[in-house]
């Protein structure tokens, strides 16, 4: 059962009819949504895990599942052109009618990869030059555009009804009073404060969760670096923490910084600080795409235009506190 609460007088009148553990949801005033109180069982039923979406053509632009799996194996194995051509000859022999195999050359495979690359936000390289003592060092920061990555998810109709755009306060009735609890970012204090401080009451907070880990070395296109992973806080935890659509995405690689006679400089304070400067500059480059003072109007996957204001909700990083300060200087 759902109760719509209009004012304090109705709260007093309704105390006797609320069941223990009823959940109250108070929405941010800018949302213009009324406060509601629901029985605990009804609240749990509302948060059922989303059903997986079945794609009509899940392997596009590949023409069949076999084509897709072949390309995946070739990519994971880092096969050479000759190896790929040899595998194609093998596949030519096993065309039995159980499936179709349409890739006929390395060039054809690369063209299909090129077509598939347009379905996701592409990575780009930012080269930076630094001077350390007598050395001139070149550092390459590989990253994708954070804003374009977020837009891809926001405009996706499959995720449209999963996004939550307004902060709210949740509390449970214990028989005598409501006790607040938090279970998603938009139910916590920061979301509420950010929405309250937006320059336009029509604005909606768009939260980013960013994770950087120096202990996890990754490889991308022959380049090594420490991964930066981003998630959108406006999506439910079972989606944003999953591996499928709407889950975390590697959005950048903090570069490895090496110099001749590296052992001589390793662990020295000036060298450690120098590496941090490069990582901080890399993060500035990454966050520049979502640094906006006036928000951005965007038509979302449900065909509704919203004024979105990006901000950092959570930062998980294996660096000093000044790392966090630089993030907040760079955004909002």
Whether the CB-CB separation of 307 and 300 falls below 8 Å is answered with no
Q: Specify the length of the chain in residues.
A: 332
* Burial classification of residue 300, based on how many CB atoms lie within 10 Å of its CB (0-12 exposed, 13-18 middle, 19 or more buried): buried
pLDDT for 11 beyond 60? no
pLDDT value for 117: 65
Can you give the pTM of this predicted structure? 0.69
The pLDDT value given to residue 291: 86
Which of 110-114, 115-119, 231-235 is predicted most confidently? 231-235
- Mean predicted lDDT score pLDDT of the chain: 81
Q: Report the alpha-carbon angle 122-123-124, nearest 5.
A: 120
Q: How confident is the model at residue 98 (pLDDT cuts 50, 70, 90)?
A: confident
Place of tokens 């079972």: 238
Tell me the pairing of strands 203-212 and 305-317.
parallel
CB contact set of 291 (below 8 Å; sequence gap of 6+): 310, 330, 331, 332
Q: What average pLDDT does range 95-113 have in this prediction?
A: 79
Q: Which pLDDT band, with edges at 50, 70 and 90, does 296 fall under?
A: very high
Structural domain boundaries in the chain: 122-167+201-317
Q: Please report where in the chains the tokens 């999953």 appear, as a residue.
A: 242
Answer with the residue of higher pLDDT: 331 or 161: 161
pLDDT tens, position by position, 130-174 = 777 776 777 788 889 999 999 999 999 999 999 999 999 999 999
pLDDT at 115: 75
Q: Which helix (H) or strand (E) holds 13?
A: helix 8-14
Percentage of the chain beyond pLDDT 70 is 78
Residue 3 banded pLDDT, cuts 50, 70, 90:
very low
**Alpha carbon distance 5, 15 (integer Å):** 11
CA atoms within 13 A on the CB side of 44: 5
Kindly state the tokens that stand for 138: 């070149």
- Check whether 205 has a pLDDT greater than 90: yes
With 50 as the cut, is the pLDDT of residue 55 above it? yes
C-alpha 22/C-alpha 324 separation (Å) is 38
pLDDT digits (tens, 9 = 90+) for 60-89: 888 888 888 888 889 889 989 999 988 888
Highest mean pLDDT among 65-74, 123-132, 224-233, 304-313: 304-313
Q: Using omega within 30 degrees of 0 as the cis cutoff, is the peptide bond preceding 61 cis? A: yes
The residue whose two tokens read 């072949």 is 70
3-class SS at 296? Answer: strand
- The side-by-side arrangement of strands in the sheet containing 178-181 is 2-5, 35-38, 23-27, 168-173, 178-181
- Within 268-314, where are the H helices? 269-288
pLDDT of residue 114: 76
Q: Cα–Cα distance between 73 and 77 in angstroms, integer?
A: 6
């Amino acid at each position: 059962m759902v109760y719509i609460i209009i004012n304090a007088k109705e709260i007093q009148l309704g105390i006797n009819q609320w069941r223990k553990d009823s959940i109250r949801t108070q929405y941010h005033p800018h949302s213009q949504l009324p406060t509601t109180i629901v029985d605990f069982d009804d609240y749990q039923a509302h948060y059922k895990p989303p059903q997986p979406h079945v794609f009509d053509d899940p392997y596009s632009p590949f023409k069949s599942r076999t084509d897709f799996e072949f390309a995946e194996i070739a990519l994971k194995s880092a096969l050479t052109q000759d190896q790929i051509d040899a595998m194609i000859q093998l596949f030519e022999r096993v065309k039995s009618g159980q499936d179709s195999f349409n890739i006929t050359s390395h060039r054809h495979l690369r063209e299909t990869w090129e077509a598939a690359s347009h379905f996701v936000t592409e990575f780009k390289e930012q080269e930076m030059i630094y001077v350390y003592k007598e050395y001139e060092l070149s550092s390459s920061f590989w990253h994708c555009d954070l804003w374009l990555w977020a837009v891809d998810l926001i405009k996706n109709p499959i995720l449209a009804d999963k996004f939550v755009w307004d902060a709210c306060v949740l509390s449970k009735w214990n028989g005598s009073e409501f006790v607040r609890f938090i279970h998603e970012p938009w139910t916590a204090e920061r979301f509420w404060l950010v929405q309250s401080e937006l320059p336009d009451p029509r604005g909606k907070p768009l939260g980013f969760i960013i994770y950087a880990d120096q202990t996890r070395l990754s490889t991308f296109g022959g380049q090594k670096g420490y991964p930066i992973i981003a998630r959108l806080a406006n999506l439910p935890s079972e989606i944003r923490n999953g591996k499928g659509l709407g889950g975390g995405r590697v959005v950048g690689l903090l570069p490895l910084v090496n110099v001749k006679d590296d052992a001589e400089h390793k662990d020295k304070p000036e060298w450690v600080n120098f590496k941090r400067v490069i990582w901080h500059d890399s993060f500035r480059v990454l966050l520049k795409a979502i640094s906006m003072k006036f928000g951005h109007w965007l038509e979302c996957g449900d065909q509704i235009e919203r004024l979105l204001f990006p901000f950092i909700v959570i930062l998980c990083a294996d660096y000093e506190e000044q790392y966090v300060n630089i993030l907040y200087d760079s955004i909002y």
